[in-house]
Protein backbone atom coordinates (compact mmCIF):
# COMPACT_ATOMS: atom_id res chain seq x y z
CA UNK A 1 0.00 0.00 0.00
CA UNK A 2 1.20 3.51 -0.80
CA UNK A 3 1.79 5.06 2.64
CA UNK A 4 1.24 8.54 1.23
CA UNK A 5 -2.15 7.71 -0.23
CA UNK A 6 -5.07 6.96 2.14
CA UNK A 7 -7.49 4.13 1.51
CA UNK A 8 -10.53 5.42 -0.37
CA UNK A 9 -13.89 4.20 0.93
CA UNK A 10 -17.52 4.40 -0.16
CA UNK A 11 -19.74 4.12 2.92
CA UNK A 12 -23.33 2.82 2.62
CA UNK A 13 -25.85 2.89 5.46
CA UNK A 14 -29.42 4.20 5.46
CA UNK A 15 -29.05 5.97 8.82
CA UNK A 16 -27.28 9.33 8.65
CA UNK A 17 -26.26 9.28 12.33
CA UNK A 18 -24.70 5.83 11.91
CA UNK A 19 -22.84 6.96 8.79
CA UNK A 20 -21.45 9.95 10.66
CA UNK A 21 -20.17 7.76 13.48
CA UNK A 22 -18.51 5.31 11.09
CA UNK A 23 -17.10 8.15 8.98
CA UNK A 24 -15.54 9.73 12.05
CA UNK A 25 -13.95 6.38 13.01
CA UNK A 26 -12.51 5.94 9.53
CA UNK A 27 -11.23 9.52 9.19
CA UNK A 28 -9.50 9.24 12.57
CA UNK A 29 -7.83 6.08 11.25
CA UNK A 30 -6.42 7.84 8.21
CA UNK A 31 -9.06 6.50 5.80
CA UNK A 32 -10.72 8.78 3.23
CA UNK A 33 -14.51 8.50 2.81
CA UNK A 34 -14.98 9.63 -0.79
CA UNK A 35 -18.76 9.15 -0.94
CA UNK A 36 -21.73 8.09 1.18
CA UNK A 37 -24.86 6.19 0.13
CA UNK A 38 -28.18 5.73 1.91
CA UNK A 39 -29.50 2.95 -0.34
CA UNK A 40 -28.21 -0.07 -2.18
CA UNK A 41 -28.88 1.47 -5.58
CA UNK A 42 -27.00 4.63 -4.64
CA UNK A 43 -24.14 2.51 -3.29
CA UNK A 44 -23.81 0.71 -6.63
CA UNK A 45 -23.75 4.00 -8.54
CA UNK A 46 -21.16 5.57 -6.23
CA UNK A 47 -18.92 2.50 -6.25
CA UNK A 48 -18.92 2.49 -10.05
CA UNK A 49 -18.35 6.25 -10.16
CA UNK A 50 -15.56 6.54 -7.57
CA UNK A 51 -13.90 3.11 -7.92
CA UNK A 52 -12.97 3.05 -4.20
CA UNK A 53 -10.46 0.72 -2.60
CA UNK A 54 -13.08 -0.59 -0.16
CA UNK A 55 -16.88 -0.38 0.10
CA UNK A 56 -18.33 -0.54 3.63
CA UNK A 57 -21.90 -1.81 3.35
CA UNK A 58 -24.81 -2.21 5.74
CA UNK A 59 -27.15 -5.15 5.02
CA UNK A 60 -30.61 -3.73 5.62
CA UNK A 61 -31.11 -0.57 3.58
CA UNK A 62 -33.42 0.48 0.74
CA UNK A 63 -33.04 -2.02 -2.13
CA UNK A 64 -30.94 -3.70 -3.08
CA UNK A 65 -29.60 -5.07 0.20
CA UNK A 66 -25.93 -4.88 1.06
CA UNK A 67 -25.58 -8.56 0.22
CA UNK A 68 -27.14 -8.02 -3.21
CA UNK A 69 -24.85 -5.01 -3.78
CA UNK A 70 -21.87 -7.24 -3.03
CA UNK A 71 -23.16 -9.91 -5.38
CA UNK A 72 -23.57 -7.43 -8.24
CA UNK A 73 -20.14 -5.91 -7.65
CA UNK A 74 -18.58 -9.36 -7.91
CA UNK A 75 -20.63 -10.20 -11.01
CA UNK A 76 -19.32 -7.05 -12.68
CA UNK A 77 -15.78 -7.92 -11.55
CA UNK A 78 -15.12 -4.49 -10.06
CA UNK A 79 -11.83 -4.35 -8.19
CA UNK A 80 -13.06 -3.23 -4.78
CA UNK A 81 -12.78 -4.76 -1.33
CA UNK A 82 -16.17 -5.42 0.27
CA UNK A 83 -16.76 -5.11 4.01
CA UNK A 84 -20.18 -5.73 5.58
CA UNK A 85 -20.70 -3.66 8.74
CA UNK A 86 -24.02 -4.59 10.31
CA UNK A 87 -25.99 -5.31 13.47
CA UNK A 88 -27.13 -8.69 12.10
CA UNK A 89 -25.22 -11.65 13.53
CA UNK A 90 -27.63 -14.33 12.22
CA UNK A 91 -25.91 -17.26 10.50
CA UNK A 92 -27.92 -17.00 7.24
CA UNK A 93 -26.90 -13.37 6.75
CA UNK A 94 -23.22 -14.10 7.38
CA UNK A 95 -23.13 -17.16 5.14
CA UNK A 96 -25.08 -15.41 2.37
CA UNK A 97 -22.66 -12.47 2.52
CA UNK A 98 -19.64 -14.76 2.30
CA UNK A 99 -21.21 -16.61 -0.61
CA UNK A 100 -21.84 -13.26 -2.31
CA UNK A 101 -18.10 -12.60 -2.24
CA UNK A 102 -17.55 -10.12 0.59
CA UNK A 103 -14.06 -9.91 2.06
CA UNK A 104 -15.16 -9.10 5.57
CA UNK A 105 -18.13 -9.18 7.94
CA UNK A 106 -17.95 -7.09 11.12
CA UNK A 107 -20.64 -6.25 13.67
CA UNK A 108 -21.49 -2.66 14.60
CA UNK A 109 -20.77 -3.59 18.21
CA UNK A 110 -17.06 -3.67 17.28
CA UNK A 111 -14.99 -0.78 18.60
CA UNK A 112 -13.59 1.94 16.35
CA UNK A 113 -10.13 0.39 16.15
CA UNK A 114 -11.53 -2.97 15.05
CA UNK A 115 -13.58 -1.33 12.29
CA UNK A 116 -10.58 0.63 11.04
CA UNK A 117 -8.37 -2.47 11.20
CA UNK A 118 -10.99 -4.41 9.21
CA UNK A 119 -10.93 -1.82 6.42
CA UNK A 120 -7.13 -1.96 6.25
CA UNK A 121 -7.19 -5.78 6.26
CA UNK A 122 -9.74 -5.95 3.46
CA UNK A 123 -7.73 -3.45 1.44
CA UNK A 124 -4.68 -5.69 1.85
CA UNK A 125 -6.60 -8.67 0.48
CA UNK A 126 -7.26 -10.39 3.78
CA UNK A 127 -10.53 -11.99 4.90
CA UNK A 128 -12.10 -10.60 8.07
CA UNK A 129 -14.79 -12.19 10.22
CA UNK A 130 -15.93 -10.68 13.51
CA UNK A 131 -14.51 -12.87 16.31
CA UNK A 132 -17.98 -13.15 17.84
CA UNK A 133 -19.19 -14.91 14.69
CA UNK A 134 -16.46 -17.41 13.94
CA UNK A 135 -17.66 -20.25 16.16
CA UNK A 136 -21.35 -20.02 15.30
CA UNK A 137 -20.70 -19.64 11.57
CA UNK A 138 -18.49 -22.71 11.53
CA UNK A 139 -21.18 -24.68 13.38
CA UNK A 140 -23.78 -23.49 10.90
CA UNK A 141 -21.63 -24.58 7.98
CA UNK A 142 -21.11 -27.99 9.56
CA UNK A 143 -24.84 -28.43 10.14
CA UNK A 144 -25.64 -27.32 6.61
CA UNK A 145 -22.90 -29.32 4.95
CA UNK A 146 -25.29 -31.99 3.54
CA UNK A 147 -27.19 -29.17 1.84
CA UNK A 148 -25.85 -27.08 -1.07
CA UNK A 149 -24.33 -23.86 0.28
CA UNK A 150 -24.06 -22.17 -3.08
CA UNK A 151 -27.15 -21.00 -4.89
CA UNK A 152 -27.56 -19.36 -8.26
CA UNK A 153 -28.43 -15.64 -8.06
CA UNK A 154 -32.00 -14.71 -8.97
CA UNK A 155 -32.79 -12.48 -11.93
CA UNK A 156 -34.50 -9.13 -11.40
CA UNK A 157 -37.77 -10.59 -12.73
CA UNK A 158 -37.53 -13.58 -10.40
CA UNK A 159 -37.00 -11.20 -7.49
CA UNK A 160 -40.08 -9.24 -8.61
CA UNK A 161 -42.13 -12.45 -8.55
CA UNK A 162 -40.76 -13.40 -5.14
CA UNK A 163 -41.56 -9.98 -3.67
CA UNK A 164 -45.19 -10.34 -4.80
CA UNK A 165 -45.31 -13.91 -3.48
CA UNK A 166 -44.14 -12.59 -0.11
CA UNK A 167 -47.42 -10.66 0.08
CA UNK A 168 -49.41 -13.87 -0.37
CA UNK A 169 -50.57 -13.17 -3.91
CA UNK A 170 -51.73 -16.00 -6.17
CA UNK A 171 -49.93 -16.71 -9.45
CA UNK A 172 -52.74 -14.94 -11.30
CA UNK A 173 -52.51 -11.87 -9.05
CA UNK A 174 -48.73 -11.80 -9.43
CA UNK A 175 -49.15 -12.01 -13.20
CA UNK A 176 -51.60 -9.10 -13.21
CA UNK A 177 -49.28 -7.02 -11.01
CA UNK A 178 -46.27 -7.65 -13.24
CA UNK A 179 -48.02 -7.77 -16.61
CA UNK A 180 -47.13 -11.40 -17.35
CA UNK A 181 -49.12 -14.63 -17.72
CA UNK A 182 -49.89 -17.17 -14.98
CA UNK A 183 -47.77 -19.71 -16.84
CA UNK A 184 -44.81 -17.34 -16.89
CA UNK A 185 -45.18 -16.75 -13.15
CA UNK A 186 -45.23 -20.51 -12.58
CA UNK A 187 -42.06 -20.87 -14.64
CA UNK A 188 -40.30 -18.14 -12.64
CA UNK A 189 -41.33 -19.79 -9.36
CA UNK A 190 -40.01 -23.14 -10.55
CA UNK A 191 -36.65 -21.51 -11.37
CA UNK A 192 -36.60 -19.78 -7.99
CA UNK A 193 -37.19 -23.07 -6.16
CA UNK A 194 -34.32 -24.70 -8.04
CA UNK A 195 -31.92 -21.82 -7.47
CA UNK A 196 -32.64 -21.50 -3.74
CA UNK A 197 -32.88 -25.27 -3.18
CA UNK A 198 -36.37 -25.08 -1.68
CA UNK A 199 -39.63 -26.96 -2.25
CA UNK A 200 -42.34 -24.30 -2.09
CA UNK A 201 -43.21 -20.59 -2.05
CA UNK A 202 -43.08 -20.24 1.73
CA UNK A 203 -39.61 -21.75 1.94
CA UNK A 204 -38.48 -19.56 -0.96
CA UNK A 205 -39.70 -16.37 0.73
CA UNK A 206 -38.19 -17.29 4.09
CA UNK A 207 -34.82 -18.27 2.64
CA UNK A 208 -34.68 -15.19 0.43
CA UNK A 209 -35.35 -13.02 3.49
CA UNK A 210 -32.64 -14.86 5.43
CA UNK A 211 -30.20 -14.26 2.59
CA UNK A 212 -31.02 -10.57 2.45
CA UNK A 213 -32.58 -10.78 -1.01
CA UNK A 214 -35.88 -9.29 0.15
CA UNK A 215 -37.60 -7.90 3.22
CA UNK A 216 -40.60 -9.72 4.62
CA UNK A 217 -43.68 -7.49 4.53
CA UNK A 218 -44.80 -6.07 7.86
CA UNK A 219 -48.13 -6.96 9.43
CA UNK A 220 -49.89 -3.82 8.22
CA UNK A 221 -48.73 -4.50 4.67
CA UNK A 222 -50.22 -7.99 4.64
CA UNK A 223 -53.40 -7.08 6.52
Q: How would you write 57-81 as a 3-class SS string?
A: ECCCCCCCCHHHHHHHHHHCCCCCE
Q: Which residue has the higher pLDDT, 49 or 163?
A: 49
More reliable by pLDDT, 146 or 202 = 202
- Over its C-alpha atoms, the chain yields an Rg (Å, rounded) of 18
Q: What is the mean pLDDT of residues 152-178?
A: 87
Choosing from 83, 118, 144, the residue where a domain stops is: 144
Return the CATH number at 47: 3.40.50.2300
- Of 45-59, 92-106, 141-155, 200-214, give the range with the top mean pLDDT: 45-59
pLDDT over 50 at 146, yes or no: no
Give SS3 for 126. Answer: coil
Domain count, the chain: 2
Q: Do 140 and 169 belong to one domain? A: no
- Same domain, yes or no: 202 and 130: no
Residues 132, 183, single domain; the answer is: no
| Burial grade of 28 (CB within 10 A; 0-12, 13-18, 19 or more) | exposed
**3-class DSSP state of 185:** helix
Q: How far lies 139's CA from each of 66, 71, 79, 90, 109, in Å?
A: 24, 24, 31, 12, 22
148 has pLDDT over 50: no
**147 CB-contact burial (10 Å; exposed 0-12 / middle 13-18 / buried 19+):** exposed
For residue 212, is it within any domain?
yes
Kindly state the average pLDDT of the residues 68-95.
93
CATH code of residue 166: 1.10.10.10
Q: Are residues 37 and 129 in the same domain?
A: yes
Four-point Cα dihedral 11, 103, 66, 90, nearest 10: -120
In a domain, residue 160? The reply is yes
Based on the domain organization, do 27 and 106 belong to the same domain?
yes
Q: Is 16 in the same domain as 126? A: yes
What is the pLDDT confidence band of residue 28, given thresholds at 50, 70 and 90?
very high
**Is the pLDDT confidence value at 10 over 90?**
yes
Sign of the torsion formed by the C-alpha atoms of 204, 205, 210 and 215 = positive
Domain residues for the domain of 83 are: 8-144
Nearest CA to 34 among 126, 93, 97, 119? 119
Which of 144, 167, 199 is at the close of a domain?
144
- Grade residue 1 by pLDDT with cuts at 50, 70 and 90: very low
Final residue belonging to a domain, choices 144, 177, 200: 144
Please give the pLDDT value at position 220: 38
Amino acid sequence: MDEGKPIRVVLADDHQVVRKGIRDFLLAGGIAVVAEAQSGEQALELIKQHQPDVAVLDIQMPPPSGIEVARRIRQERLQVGLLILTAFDDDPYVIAALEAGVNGYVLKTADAEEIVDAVYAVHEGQSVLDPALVGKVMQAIIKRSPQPLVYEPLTERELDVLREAAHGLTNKAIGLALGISDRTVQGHLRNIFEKLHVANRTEAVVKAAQLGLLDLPSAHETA
